[in-house]
Amino acid sequence: MRFAPVLLLALGFVAEAQAPSALAPFTLYASFQQEPSPQVRETIREELDSLITPIGWHIEWGSVDSAGVSLRLAVAHFKGGCDADNVTTYGRYPWVLGETHVISGKISPFTDVYCDAIRAFLADALMPMNREKRQFVFGRAVGRVLAHELFHILANEKGHGRKGVAEPMFRQDELISDNFRFDSKQVKELRAHLASAVVTAYEGGQSRGASLFISSGCSGCHGLKGEGTRWAPALTEVRGSYQSGELSARLANRNTDMYRRAKEFNLVWPALDSDETRALIFYLRNPQQFAFDRSVE
């Protein structure tokens, strides 16, 4: 099945029986036909990280040549030249930025990303830029296309959103703009699928609290185990002191840095009732390491 002008990107989940890495719910193996510049490679990673990580999914990149053992392998082949040094328009172009296949109703774990098509699609906008800016804008656009495909895989969704990074067709101005993110509906879908893929040793209230920690968006910025990320501090110092009333008041306050940060990334602000708040507090006081459900498709 072909999707234009966007692509389907496959990725793999990595899990360990005892203590999986809190920052790597999945590993993405990449293979480049032509090695990109360090700037383009880093920009792709940074853009993908800024779009996906605050939602809760943390990415670990791997090389196809040095791929280790994982429960599910996923490989993205970047074909053509993934750089913006030689920008040329091609007239009439099919504008397929990448493609994958759906086999027996399931998305294949392999995908091709057509860097030449992405560059040609953006050629008119890239040509007036100096080299440094051109490489940055191009790499960021590739990162956004990858993020679109991660939505399909992570949410187990063949359809698209009505707008944002998960929309069915990209415009040139969206791929080069300074701010282009997932719509709130797709953020909810991505969080819900992450929550269903993660289990803990707890049952009942603890299990519910762990699920809420993910689905409400806490894990996106604070880390899957509250260990902290570059988006938000660790919760290790405040776990024991949290009270339901205090957390409810904090979530109701729209004048905090936490709220402003969430809005900056177009994240859905938690809306928890009193029972949910108590379950979340109970979990925060008694956190356990996450494990990944090996049965999740």
- Is the domain of 218 the same as that of 173? no
> Do 175 and 153 belong to one domain?
yes
Q: 122 with 16, same domain?
A: yes
Task: Identify whether residues 23 and 111 lie together within a single domain.
Answer: yes
Q: In this structure, what is the dihedral angle of CA atoms 87, 98, 264, 178, given to the nearest 10 degrees? A: 10
Q: Report the pLDDT value the prediction gives residue 275, as an integer from 0 to 100.
A: 84
Same domain, 171 and 192: no
| Sequence-ordered strand ranges (E) for the chain | 12-13, 26-34, 59-63, 75-81, 98-99, 102-103, 106-107, 110-114, 198-199, 291-292
Same domain, yes or no: 191 and 130: no
Ordered per-residue pLDDT tens for the chain, 297 residues: 344 343 333 333 232 223 333 334 678 888 899 999 999 999 999 999 889 888 888 778 877 665 454 435 677 888 899 999 888 766 556 677 877 777 888 877 777 888 888 999 999 999 999 999 999 999 999 999 988 887 887 888 888 899 999 998 899 999 999 999 999 889 888 888 877 766 544 444 457 777 788 878 888 888 777 778 887 888 766 655 667 777 788 788 888 888 887 877 777 788 888 888 888 877 777 665 444 443 333
Domain boundary among 182, 202, 229: 182
- Own/partner contacts of 206-210, CB < 8 Å, gap of 24 or more, are 206/282, 206/283, 206/286, 206/288, 208/279, 208/283, 209/279, 209/280, 209/281, 209/282, 209/283, 209/284, 210/283, 210/288, 210/290
Position 262 scores a pLDDT of: 80
Q: Is 235 among the domain residues?
A: yes
Among residues 182, 198, 231, which one ends one of the domains? 182
Number of structural domains (the chain) is 2
Question: Where residue 131 sits, what CATH number does that domain have?
Answer: 3.40.390
The domain boundary residue, chosen from 160, 182, 204: 182
Instruction: Name residues whose C-beta falls within 8 Å of residue 113's C-beta, 6 or more positions apart in sequence.
Output: 7, 9, 76, 77, 78, 79, 97, 98, 142, 145, 146
Quick check: is 233 in a domain?
A: yes
160 shares its domain with 195: no
**What's the pLDDT score for residue 66?**
55
Backbone angles phi, psi at 176, to 5 degrees: -110, 0
* Residue 130 and residue 29 in one domain: yes
Do 66 and 165 lie in a common domain? yes
Q: What's the one-letter identity of residue 115?
A: C
Residues 139 and 174 in one domain: yes
What confidence score (pLDDT) does residue 288 get? 58
Q: Has this prediction a pTM greater than 0.85?
A: no
pLDDT, position 132: 94
Q: Tell me, yes or no, whether 6 lies in a domain.
A: no
* Residue ranges making up the domain that contains 196: 187-292
Same-domain status, 49 and 95: yes
pLDDT of residue 107: 78
Q: What is the CATH number of the domain that holds 237?
A: 1.10.760
113 and 29 in a common domain: yes
